[in-house]
Structure 1
C-alpha cells in the first residue's frame, strides 16, 4: 500500500490546481487520473473554443497566452500539460479510482492498479464521462454517438444533431460547413440561451435561411439504420439519416459520490453536501472541487470560477496538519 498525505481524484485543470497548491505547501500528494492529462478537455471537439478568455483559465497565476482572446482546445491542452510537466506534478495517469473508504482517521483509495492510504481526499472528477442518454430504440447503434470530435467525418452525410447547447450548436455549424446535411432536433422552443454569444446569431441565421433544418419542441422516438423518427408538435416525422450526434449533456458520477458516502440533496438537482467556506463534505477531511460541486447544474461551476477551490481546500487542510 502506498501512503501519502493527500489523494486528488481527477487530473483536470482544478485537480492540477489542487496539486500545485499542495506542492507549494509541502504536502505529499498524488493526483490520480483515469485518462490522460486533462482527459475531459482532450475529448472535447478538435476545434472547440472556450467561452472564457485565456486569463480566466489560468491557474496559480501562471500566464496563459493564446492567439485569440478566447483560446481553443489545443492551446488549453498545451497550457495545462506544460504546467504538469514543468512543475513535475506527482500524477498517476490511466489509473481509475474504484472506491474510497474511510478507515478511522484515514482513507483507503483503491484503484484498478494499486491501493493508497491517505489522510485527506479531494474529488475533482468533473462530469464529462457519463452522457445523458435518450433511452430510445436504436440508441445503441454504431451510427449514434454522444461525443463529437471532427466535422470532416460527416461530410456528404445526413446528420441529426440532438440538443441546443454549445456542443450541439458547434457541431451543427461545423458539420454543415464541411458539407453535411444537418437536421437539429431540439426539445425546447429555441436555441439555448447559454450558447456562446458570438455563435448563437450564426446558428439562428443558418436555420432561418434553411441551410440547417430544425425541429423545435420535438424528441427522438426511434433510430434505425437508415432513418430517425421524431415526435413533433405536428405528429411523428420520419427522416432519412446516416449518423446521429446526441449531444444532450453529461452527468457527474453520482454513483461514485454515493459509494464514498457523500450526501446529495433529495431533489432532482442532486447537489452534494459541502461547506462553502472550506469545500469539505459531510465526511471529515474529504473535499470537493470544480464542476462536481454543482450536481446536475453542471453550468454553475467551471474553470474560471472554481480555480479558487484549490486554495480554499489546501488552506483548510493546513490548519489541520
Structure 2
C-alpha cells in the first residue's frame, strides 16, 4: 500500500516525488511516456522564457550556459534530478482506471495494479493538440508538433498561430530557407511572445521576408495548395507543409472519469483547495498546469513547484 501514487513524470510530478521522499511517504511515479515527456517533445532549438533558477526542483542547482536554458539542457537537468533522488519511476506505463473502496484507491495501468491512500495528478496538457477541424487536416503534410526546421528547407510552409511556438517555427524555418506564410486569427502578434523574439518576427513581417495574414484563418488544405480566409476575401496559395501551432489542451475527460468536478464555463477549471491542492475527491490532489483547466497559460513550472510541498504537508497531516 503506497502513501501516494503520482501520475505524470514531468517536472512537477518529479517535484511531488521529491516532496514525498522528504516527508517519508512511500510513492511511485507513473507516466505514459518518457521522463519529462512534454519537454522531450518541445522543438529541438527551443529556449525557455524562464531563467534556470526558476525551473529548479528539489534544491538541485540548474547550471546552464545561458540565463535562459534550452530544451536539451532542461532534459539533462531533470534526468540528473531523478538520478540524484533515485526516484521510483515507471515510464511508458499508462493509467487506465482508478477505483476506490474504503478510502483506498486501486490504480490499474496497462502493466500493473497498484493500491494507494492518495493520488496526485500532474499530467500537464501537451499531449492533445487543439484541432483546426477543417478539410484536409488529416493530410500528412500537416503537423501539430514542430521539431527541427531543417526538414522544411526550401519548402513552402504555412505556420498557424501567433504565440511563441508559432513564432519560433516561422523564424527558424525561414532561416533554413523555407518560404514562410503565417496565418493569424488575431489582428497582431501575441502578447505572450518572448520579448527578445517579438521585434525579430515583427521586422521580418514588415520587410516582407515572412508573409503574414492577420485576422485570417486557414479553411482548407490540399496536397499542393491551401485556402486562407482573409479580411479581403478567400485566397489560395501554393503550399507544401502546414505547421498548426494552435496550442494544446489537458485530458479533462480523465479528471471527470476520476470524479473531479469541473467549472461550468469554458475554462473547465477543476475544483481543488488552493491551500492543500486536494480536489473534491478525498485523497486526490492536482499539481502543475492541469490545475488551470483550459486556461493552459495560468500555471508554469516556476509558479506551480510549490504544489508539491503543499500536497506532501496535507497528506502527512491527514495520515
Separation in structure 2 between the aligned mates of residue 110 and residue 118 of structure 1, nearest angstrom = 11
**Structure 1: any 5+ residue segments left out of the alignment?**
none
The one of 11, 14, 30 equivalent to 1:13 is: 11
The one of 145, 151, 154 equivalent to 1:153 is: 151
Residue in 1 that maps onto 2:160: 162
The one of 199, 205, 208 equivalent to 1:207 is: 205
TM-score by length of 1: 0.98
The one of 99, 102, 120 equivalent to 1:101 is: 99
Separation in structure 2 between the aligned mates of residue 199 and residue 206 of structure 1, nearest angstrom = 11
The one of 214, 217, 220 equivalent to 2:215 is: 217
**Structure 2: any 5+ residue segments left out of the alignment?**
none
- What is the Cα-based RMSD across aligned positions, in Å? 0.7
Residue in 1 that maps onto 2:313: 315
Contact 2:58 2:81 in 1 (8 A): no
TM-score by length of 2: 0.99
Deviations 1:186-232 (A, max 9, x none): 00101100000100110000000000001100111100101111111
1:11-50 correspondence runs (5 A): 11-50=9-48
Residues 1:193 and 2:191 aligned together: yes
Deviations 1:220-250 (A, max 9, x none): 1100101111111111110100000000000
Residue in 1 that maps onto 2:128: 130
Separation in structure 1 between the aligned mates of residue 85 and residue 60 of structure 2, nearest angstrom = 11
Give, in angstroms, the shift of residue 61 of structure 1.
1.7
1:228-267 correspondence runs (5 A): 228-267=226-265
Deviations 1:102-161 (A, max 9, x none): 222011111111111100000000000000000001001000000000000000000000
Separation in structure 1 between the aligned mates of residue 268 and residue 48 of structure 2, nearest angstrom = 27
Residue in 1 that maps onto 2:296: 298
SS of equivalent residue, structure 1 residue 312: helix
Give, in angstroms, the shift of residue 173 of structure 1.
0.4
Deviations 1:242-274 (A, max 9, x none): 000000000000111110010000000000000
Give, in angstroms, the shift of residue 27 of structure 1.
1.1
Contact 1:99 1:256 in 2 (8 A): no
Deviations 1:159-201 (A, max 9, x none): 0000001000000000000000000000010110000010011
Give every structure 1 segment of 4 or more consecutive aligned residues whose post-TM-superposition deviation is greater than 3 Å.
none
Give, in angstroms, the shift of residue 87 of structure 1.
1.4
Residues 1:117 and 2:127 aligned together: no
Separation in structure 2 between the aligned mates of residue 130 and residue 307 of structure 1, nearest angstrom = 23
Separation in structure 1 between the aligned mates of residue 184 and residue 101 of structure 2, nearest angstrom = 48
SS of equivalent residue, structure 2 residue 317: helix
Separation in structure 2 between the aligned mates of residue 249 and residue 101 of structure 1, nearest angstrom = 32
Give, in angstroms, the shift of residue 302 of structure 1.
0.4
Separation in structure 2 between the aligned mates of residue 254 and residue 31 of structure 1, nearest angstrom = 20
SS of equivalent residue, structure 1 residue 89: coil
Contact 2:55 2:62 in 1 (8 A): yes
SS of equivalent residue, structure 1 residue 252: coil
Separation in structure 1 between the aligned mates of residue 117 and residue 46 of structure 2, nearest angstrom = 38
